[in-house]
Every structure is written in C-alpha cells, then in structure tokens.
Chain A
C-alpha cells in the first residue's frame, strides 16, 4: 500500500491555516499542524476522525528554536506539501506601535517564514518533488497605511514566492502564493483592528473557501491564487492605480475610528 502523503501546515490553530490542514486531511494526507499556542492540540484533535495521522506541534516559528522544533519532527520524513501560513497582523499607526510588536511581526512573517521555506525548498529539491504554498496577502500589493509593517511583510512574501517559484521550476518543486483579501478569522481581533472599517466589515471571505482555493491551486502547481471576485478585481486595479492612491484607500479601511481625520 502506498504511504499517505504528508502535509505540514503552520499557523494551523485557527483561520485559514486550520482550514488548510482540514483540506489536507480531507485529501487523505497525514498532517503536521504547528502554531504558537496551546489550541493547536484542539485543532489537531478536530481532524483526527478521518483516518489521517495528525501531529500537533506547539512552537513559536518567529524564533530559531521554534523552527528547529518543527524541523526535528519532519527532517526524516518525506514532505509532500508545505503550507507556510503562520503570520501576525498589526494595525494602528506605525509610530504608535511598540517596537517589540513590530519586531514580532517581522520575526514571524519574514524571518521565520523564510527560515522554514529555506529548509523546505532544500528538502523538496533533494526529494525531487514537493509543493509549497505561501500565504501572502492581497495586502502585499497595497501599501498599508495604518497596517504598514504587516502589509510590507506580505509584499515580501508575495515577492519571495514569485522569485523562488521560478528558481525551482526544473526541480519538480512548485511554489504557490495564496493572496487572500480580508477573511473572516481572528486576524483582525489579534491585530488590534476591531475598531477599523475593514475589521467591522461583515462581507469578509469564508476562510474555508479561501483555504480550499489555495490548497487546490497548490495541488495544480499554479503560481498564485486570489480567491474571490472582489479580490481579483482589486488585484487587477493595483496594477494600474498609483501606490499613493492605494495607500490612501488603505487608510480609509484600516485607520482606527476616532483617530486622525481619515
């Protein structure tokens, strides 16, 4: 009997990450779920009924130590799918943010993601096959007034994903960038963005649908996917509207109510 495929999903305790892990389990994969909080065990337990071998790892992937913990678990296993999804948001004006908060966003979204992707690409290139999914964001195409560092980190991830996809194209390894728009997850609450127009918007996308679109795009080996019509429209428009205008639009969505004159 053929061994089941193995999928690794980071940031899998809730939201899009949890739904990606669910896609993996539904597709008959064994799954390693990682997050920096205890809830990762509950998330793993919720996927256990389908016959998959499910492993929960609690680790902060913004630290070298956390990356090492995950790698210890998967180093000797054949990894078919790697979903680098862990990320932190941070709203508010740049100069009102604490440096420690900014640093945590960079450590998780940029340094930690890159460390994992570096190991994953090497591993998969050696395997001669593998599929990588990177959760970037439509935000990477839009300079983010009042969420500046977060949007910049997603610009980093979107750009990195296009670059390494091209490098790996003859190695049997594909890289897909999932670029969701605002999704109905704990993201806005955790990013301290409850009091913003985008945080209060009720039309946000369903994380299960976003995850399924991303998972399927990865399995096809597509370069990127922007789930939902409005996001596709927005992505098209970002190609022709100047960055200064986009930044202004972002202010209208992300500026905390009662602040400034936005």
Chain B
C-alpha cells in the first residue's frame, strides 16, 4: 500500500565552519539545524488565510519530535577564517540549507519525480502522483505500476 509518507532514516552532515572552538556545542548546533531542516522539508507547512497564519498551533503546525528526527552524524572540515575569533565562523544557520534538497533528491531517486516545493507532505505527494499522473513518468523510474 502506498502511504506517500517519507521517513528520514539517517543524515550525514559535513560542515565547514572555520575553526571549531567547542566541538560539543558546534555539533549540537548542526544537529539542531538538521532537525529543523527535516521539518522544513517534510512537515512544517505555513497555511495563510486572509493574511493570517491559519495553523498557528502546535496541533496543526507539525514540527519533528524525537521519533521523527533521524540519526544525525556531524563531521567538520576545518578551514580557519582569518576574520573570525580564533578562526571561527558562524554556524547556526548553515545546517538548514542541506536537508531539504537532500531529502527531495532522495525522494526523486525513489519515485522518479522531481518535486520542486517544500514542505512535501504526504497529501502533496499524493496529489502529484494520483491527480496529475500524466506529469509523472513512473514507469521510467522503475518504482512499480502507475497508480490508478
């Protein structure tokens, strides 16, 4: 049965952040950013209605829990920055950039469909694959029969 849902099982992050001053906190920042990136890619849909966010509660704006966030492995490639203290650079926002394209590329690899917007909720995937199947070249992706 197709569920149209996506689960991230492992995430490997490599970051260049100048010199790593505090390895524990630096890795923690990257892991947190990756978790936000996973939410950005798969869960956190802001719905606007009459100029207001209509799902502004934790019950209908879904962010990842401890069960949803995959195992994250963080690696640093150090290249000290001459302008930063002790060669450090900022690292808080960097890890947001990678997860969404990585996850959507993995989904493309699995389905053969190039999804181009996030967050990609199961209903979005369903609409694309079932409502407009003519835009989907499932056969070439070798991922089973075309949904009817």
Q: Are A and B a genuine interacting pair, yes or no? A: no
> B-side interface residues toward A, CB under 8 Å?
none
